[in-house]
Amino acid sequence: MLTRTATAPHAALPPGTGHSTFAARDLLTEALVGMLQRPARSALTMLGTVLGVGAFVAVLGLTATASSQIDARFNVLSATEVTLQDIAREHDEFADPAFPDDATDRVERLNGVRHAGVLWTVQPRHGAAELSVTAAPVGDTRGGEALDVVAAAPGALRAAEPRISQGRLYDDFHADTRQHVTVISSGIAARLGITTLETRPAILIGGQPFTVTGIIEDTQRQPDILLSVLVPPTTATELWGRPAQGARMLIATDLGAARQVAGEAPTALRPDHPEYVKAIPPPDPKGLRTSVTSDLEQLFLLLAAVCLVIGAIGIANTTLVAVLERTGEIGLRRALGAQKRHVTAQFLAESGTLGALGGLIGTALGTLAVLAVALLRDWTPVMHPLILATAPLIGLATGVVAGIYPARRASSVQPAEALRG
């Protein structure tokens, strides 16, 4: 409560003079009373702060949670993948291909290698006309569609870890005997009108019939092969020749062996010229996580900042309206001895309390949002304790900053004019 210390018994103090105190407990009580007088307006005023702080907590929590999932996915997939590229022609235009005929056997003998295989996009033979790569069901007179054809060793298909919807992948037997078989994605199958493999459908590739042995729904690695028709490399070599350049090898390794395999594979393939093979090991997980999450985090933090600005404007507007509505009350307080700093403190306390409550509610809602997303995605939620501790303080700071102008406006009210009105 507001108290005065008089300079003499029963002597009245002029407004704004003398010594008076405003206890913190009384200040908070006055702020809560002012808010509860207009509960609906106070709730709507807090909404902007709730959204801003909630978005702040949710964004940081979700990005931290997603980062941990990226790390896990990196460990299972990216950390076990090595790609080798044939760059022999960059060193010598007359050099033989970097991958010999037994390239798969050489690499799979290395410790830590689970699957490996060469793949390349089919090109015409030297001196031949451009290869017309079309595909259409046998008996279809429409001419089919232009599709890429990729020669992929069975080991490369296994390394890609495909999910098969129908049929099966071609295997080493098909490759060794140069069978005219192919594997296509479900998207290509739909474009060609193939709905089932029970009728043993075939397609034409460059005029040659190929039996479809399997349809792939998705792959864990090398998703670009879903856009191509896949054939055994021995069959592709027999029909269209060896690749002049552009061949690569996909290797799936045990966890932790990728970098070692990347260092040993070029020598295993070309001990005479290991520089003809370029090994691409897994990227650094920390850099991967940073590059994936930084842009998303910045975007949503900007959104949270916009919400906080909107919340601050709402608090400032509501507090200013309250000042205008309570001019008589302010004048009476000033006449009873309240100083300008007391009035300023009262309205700053009201706006700060609104911001703090909005921050607490926003923190709770943001935390619940992170938990809900993690539960739906079967993730492990990650929340930094500093974020949970800082978020309500951000709401408090937003409310205090928003209340500075209305509080100064209230403290400038003159008692005589206020009571006369």
**What are the residues whose beta carbons fall under 8 Å from the beta carbon of 310, sequence distance 6 or more?**
48, 51, 52
Joined tokens for residue 144: 């089919």
**Residue scoring higher pLDDT (149 or 7):** 149
Q: Which DSSP string do the residues of 266-313 spell out, in sequence order?
A: HHHH-SS-GGGEEEEPPPPHHHHHHHHHHHHHHHHHHHHHHHHHHHHH
User: Is residue 229 within 8 Å of 237, Cβ to Cβ?
Assistant: no
pLDDT > 90? residue 119: yes
Would you state the pLDDT for residue 16? 44
Amino acid present at 142: R
Tell me the residue type at 32: L
Confidence band of 126 (pLDDT split at 50, 70, 90): low
Q: Mean per-residue pLDDT for 66-74?
A: 63
- Predicted confidence (pLDDT) at residue 154 exceeds the cutoff of 90: yes
8 or 146: whose pLDDT is higher?
146
Q: How far apart are CA 378 and CA 374, in angstroms?
A: 6
pLDDT of residue 11: 41
pTM: 0.54
Average pLDDT estimate for 355-372: 89
Mean pLDDT across the stretch 155-168? 94
The band of 398, judged by pLDDT with boundaries at 50, 70 and 90, is confident
Domain positions in the chain are: 22-73+287-420, 96-272
Alpha-carbon distances, residue 339 vs 2, 4, 21, 332, 408 (angstroms): 10, 11, 9, 11, 12
Here the tokens at position 337 are 């001895």
10-22 pLDDT, tens digit per residue, is 444 444 444 455 5
Percent of the chain with pLDDT over 90: 29
Asked if 48 contacts 317 with a C-beta cutoff of 8 angstroms, the reply is no
DSSP 147: -
Read off the pLDDT of each residue in 240-253 and give the average, rounded to a whole number.
87
Which among 121, 42, 112, 59 has a CA at the least distance from the CA of 82? 112
* 1, 78, 160, 260, 267 from 110: Cα distances, Å: 82, 19, 19, 10, 11
Going by pLDDT thresholds of 50, 70 and 90, the confidence category of residue 89 is confident
- In whole angstroms, what is the distance from residue 153 CA to residue 138 CA? 25
When mean pLDDT is compared across 65-69, 106-110, 390-394, the lowest value belongs to 65-69
State in Å, rounded, how far the first CA of the chain is from the last one: 26
DSSP 154: H
